[in-house]
Amino acid sequence: MTDYERFREKLKERIQELSGTDAVIEYSDIRKNNGNHYEGLSIMGLEDRMLPILNIRDYYHYYLERNRNMDDVMERVRKTIADPEGTDDDLIGLVPPFEEARKNIHYGMINYEANTQRLNGLVHRRFLDLAIVLYYTVYKDGEPFATVLILNVLTKLWQMDSRSLFELAGENARKEKAMLFSVPQLLEIILTDAFETEGKEPGEIRKKVDAVIKRFEKKMESSPRLLRRMFLLTNSTRCYGAACILYPGVLHALARREKEDLYLLPVSVNDVLIFPAGNETDGEFLKKRAAKLAEVMRGEEDWLSGKLYRYIAERDEIVEA
């Protein structure tokens, strides 16, 4: 066991002693909307109010500074529990009461085989080689702040079963806006952001973006491998956005517009590439691309799958291609 792991266990034990037997202290999987991934300690079941999810790594660094001891760490923990939204600590999330969380519960997807141990503690369902998980979004100052995967223990504290939570996520999916970008649209967004960061003037940015998109479109026309009708699907926060393939009507509407079934190639847990499955699309090539992507990304936190999927519009069904 590493020093960090020993500290993590001791911190959990001390918080349990502080909070009493009515509280439930569990490790949580947190993603912030800046793309960073954290391991947290969720404090649940004390009162019907917001409770903090503590950044374990942050407390570990605090512990190592100036030869502090666990009593110093716990004094900081006490202040954070007393007023989590008023603290200066780098909180990575909050555990809300169910009535505050319900409208922000959504689908996510992770790879099943790569997360078998982790899934033991998570609300989930098997789907092909994937697991559909549930998360809730935490808001801060009216903006999405972090996403927290829903633990089995949280369903008991919320007095909800997993079936009811999945039904609720389905209802929310009907209201959630999936974002579908063509490749030129995606290039425009990425390049504009990059050039603005460099401090370039709007007129210069427009000229540079248009030139890149024009070169890309010309290359697409001349290459049989680069497909003209290619889209990227995600959600508004680009966090667990690959699960938008589960949103009611999203794939069906695109397949109807393109008059084709669809190939689905996961880029990560956050987004999926979509290709109309017509004669112009080389399915075997896409399978190889999916496998190659898996070789590169397997083991990465955002990796989802090395499989290519097909959406069959007539059956409104996703299968392995």
> According to the model, what pLDDT value does residue 224 have?
52
pLDDT confidence band for 233 (50 / 70 / 90): very high
Residues 127 and 217 in one domain: no
User: Residue 264 above 70 pLDDT?
Assistant: yes
Domain interval for residue 300:
178-235+249-320
Report the Cα–Cα distance between both ends of the chain, in Å, rounded: 42
Summarised one tens digit per residue, pLDDT across range 29-59 is 777 665 677 788 887 765 555 677 888 888 8
122, 150, 174 - which closes a domain: 174
**157 and 274 both lie in a single domain:** no
Reported for 224-231, long-range contacts at CB under 8 A and 24+ positions apart, including other chains, are 224/282, 225/282, 225/285, 227/275, 227/280, 227/281, 228/280, 229/258, 229/275, 229/276, 229/280, 230/182, 230/183, 230/273, 230/274, 230/275, 231/180, 231/181, 231/182, 231/183, 231/273, 231/274, 231/275
Q: Is residue 244 part of a domain?
A: no
pTM for the model stands at: 0.80
* Domain match, 186 and 145 both: no
Of 174, 189, 209, which residue constitutes the final position of a domain?
A: 174
Looking at the structure, tell me whether residues 186 and 170 fall in a common domain: no
DSSP 8-state secondary structure symbol assigned to residue 228: S
Q: Measured between alpha carbons, how far is 249 from 245 in angstroms, rounded to an integer?
A: 9
211 and 141, same structural domain?
no
Assess whether pLDDT exceeds 60 at residue 227: no
Give the pLDDT confidence score for residue 86 in this predicted structure. 60
On whether residue 253 sits in a domain, the answer given is yes
Q: Are residues 165 and 184 in the same domain?
A: no
What CA–CA distance (Å, rounded) separates 52 from 169? 23
Q: Residue 129: what pLDDT?
A: 94
Structure tokens at 234: 């995600």
Same domain flag for 123 and 31:
yes
> Is 241 among the domain residues?
no
Q: Are residues 83 and 190 in the same domain?
A: no
- Give how many domains the chain has, as a whole number: 2
Q: Is the pLDDT of residue 226 over 70?
A: no
Q: How confident is the model at residue 320 (pLDDT cuts 50, 70, 90)?
A: very high
Position 215 in a domain: yes
Q: Is residue 243 part of a domain?
A: no
- What value does the mean pLDDT take over residues 254-270? 92
In this predicted model, what pLDDT tens digit does every residue of 90-123 receive, in sequence order? 556 667 788 888 999 999 999 999 999 889 989 9
**Are residues 184 and 170 part of one domain?**
no
pLDDT on residue 251: 96
Question: Which of 174, 204, 223 is the endpoint of a domain?
Answer: 174
Q: What is the mean pLDDT of the chain?
A: 84
Q: Are 35 and 169 contained in the same domain? A: yes
